[in-house]
């Protein structure tokens, strides 16, 4: 039998003890990936070590499942932008999120602004020149997001990483490609020759862009994304007319439109042969170039979807009220919704708030209960879990006989689907 010498054994044990420390020293500056429902999140650093007084960048990496998306700073008709709350050592400051170029995401008759696929949200961190060097800089980020396909699911995570201090910052080479990709996602500054003016009157926003000596390609597809969420009716058609000086945009104002702002900021997305580039545009008050009357008026994105102005009566959901109604022998329709749920809003506009569904509810004496999950009410969370759902919308129809089971409806509703389900439930 071969024997191992005592000195050789000691040397091997020493190497085994040393290996974790070496691995730790070269570990990439990352929080590690956390897995949420239909999304992965990670916080990464552009530097491996921090230099006193030297700003550096962090990136929140969001990777939703294929077909799912997160939201831009202005989510559109509905949705919720990703939020980061930083916990940093005293004297260390975090800037605002630098947002990538948004995508236009229509869902039924609703319009969202968001990002599909891998997305990076950049934030600049500013350490002080007198940053103590006796311990690493610890960064903690509490992150909240909303990820949607048809179902919308809010998510939360605490991401943290530690960066050692050095006389000067050292780049994290393993993250160079990710930060290059992150910066390619950002909108570019507009050319210096561009000038934009706007006018908000008669229920419409008119914005004209004079491109000067840097005109846009004649075959480009254009869309303007305003940063302010309460400026325009996002689901209304955005009219675009090309003049000799540049494009003119027209869109109906939001019902929540405040007084005329001093400035309108946003991103102009230029698409050419499937390739998109965003430009940061700021418009000042001033009568824009005249656009032809063929662009006015601007109709809603889907006119006539809601075919009755009559209020659809409903009660606030509670388990006690649900039990009471069931025992009375009435069919009950439960709608679990949230203000940020785009599919919920689309279903209400195109199905639940229609004359056909209202008449069916009346004809069969259906009680209508609505639960608001905007702030993740734990009572509604428990109800969602009963039906295996981690998000909204959720629609459940209970038949008139309390001994019979309920029926869970699809995430996407049509008037015919709801009317047929109500008729069947009443018959049972």
What is the DSSP secondary-structure string of 232-263? B-TTB--EEEE-SS-EEEEEEBPTT--SPPS-
pLDDT in the model for residue 156: 96
Give the model's pLDDT for residue 15.
44
pLDDT at 26: 52
- Contact status, residue 289 vs residue 248, Cβ threshold 8 Å: yes
pLDDT for residue 425 = 86
**pLDDT given at position 287:** 65
Alpha-carbon span 78 to 80, nearest angstrom: 7
Q: How far is C-alpha 283 from the geometric centre of its chain's CA atoms?
A: 25
Neighbour tally for 218: CB within 10 Å? 6
Q: Tell me what pLDDT residue 133 has.
A: 75
Question: CA gyration radius for the chain?
Answer: 27
Which strands make up the sheet holding 367-372, listed edge to edge?
Answer: 315-316, 367-372, 332-337, 394-398, 407-409
**Predicted local confidence at residue 16, as pLDDT:** 43
Q: In this structure, what DSSP letter does residue 187 have?
A: P
Which has the closest alpha carbon to 376: 422, 337, 333, 418? 337
* Biggest CA-to-CA distance, the chain: 98
CA dist 76 and 111 (Å) reads: 6
DSSP-derived letter for residue 51 is: -
- Unique residue bearing structure tokens 């396909």: 149
> Domains along the chain?
28-186 (2.60.40.1250), 195-295 (2.60.40), 315-427 (3.40.30.10)
Q: Which residues of the chain have pLDDT under 50?
A: 1-7, 9-25, 290-306
- Exposed/middle/buried for 406, CB within 10 Å: 0-12, 13-18, 19+? middle
Per-residue tokens: 260: 């005329």
Adjacent-strand bridge partners of 334: 369, 396
């Amino acid at each position: 039998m071969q024997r191992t010498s005592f000195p050789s054994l000691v040397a091997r044990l020493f190497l085994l003890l040393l290996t974790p420390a070496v691995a730790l020293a070269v570990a990439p500056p990352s929080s590690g990936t956390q897995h949420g429902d239909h999304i992965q999140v990670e916080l990464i650093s552009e530097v491996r070590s921090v230099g006193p007084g030297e700003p550096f960048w962090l990136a929140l990496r969001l990777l939703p499942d294929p077909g799912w998306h997160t939201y831009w700073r202005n989510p559109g008709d509905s949705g919720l932008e990703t939020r980061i709350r930083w916990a940093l050592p005293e004297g260390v400051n975090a800037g605002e999120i630098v947002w990538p170029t948004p995508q236009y995401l229509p869902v039924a008759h609703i319009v969202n602004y968001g990002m599909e696929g891998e997305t990076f949200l950049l934030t600049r961190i500013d350490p002080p020149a007198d940053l103590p060097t006796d311990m690493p800089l610890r960064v903690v980020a509490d992150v909240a997001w909303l990820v949607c396909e048809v179902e919308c699911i809010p998510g939360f995570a605490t991401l943290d990483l530690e960066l050692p201090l050095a006389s000067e910052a050292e780049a994290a080479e393993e993250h160079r490609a990710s930060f290059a990709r992150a910066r390619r996602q950002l909108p570019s500054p507009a050319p210096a020759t561009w000038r934009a003016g706007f006018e908000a009157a008669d229920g419409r926003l008119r914005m004209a862009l004079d491109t000067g000596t840097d005109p846009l390609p004649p075959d480009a597809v254009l869309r303007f994304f305003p940063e302010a969420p309460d400026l325009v009716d996002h689901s209304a058609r955005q009219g675009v007319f090309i003049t000799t000086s540049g494009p003119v945009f027209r869109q109906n104002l939001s019902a929540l439109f405040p007084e005329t702002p001093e400035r309108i900021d946003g991103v102009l997305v230029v698409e050419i042969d499937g390739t998109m580039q965003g430009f940061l545009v700021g418009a000042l008050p001033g009568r824009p170039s005249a656009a032809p009357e063929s662009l006015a008026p601007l109709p809603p994105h889907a006119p006539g979807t809601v075919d009755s102005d009559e209020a659809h009566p409903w009660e606030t959901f509670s388990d006690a009220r649900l039990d009471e109604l069931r025992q009375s022998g009435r069919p009950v329709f439960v709608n679990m919704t949230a203000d940020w749920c785009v599919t919920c809003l689309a279903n209400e506009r195109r199905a639940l708030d229609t004359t056909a569904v209202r008449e069916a509810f009346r004809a069969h004496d259906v009680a209508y209960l609505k639960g608001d999950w905007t702030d993740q009410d734990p009572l509604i969370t428990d109800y969602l879990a009963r039906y295996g759902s981690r998000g909204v919308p959720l629609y459940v129809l209970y038949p008139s006989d309390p001994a019979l089971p309920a029926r869970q409806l699809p995430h996407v509703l049509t008037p015919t689907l709801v009317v047929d389900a109500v008729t069947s439930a009443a018959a049972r």
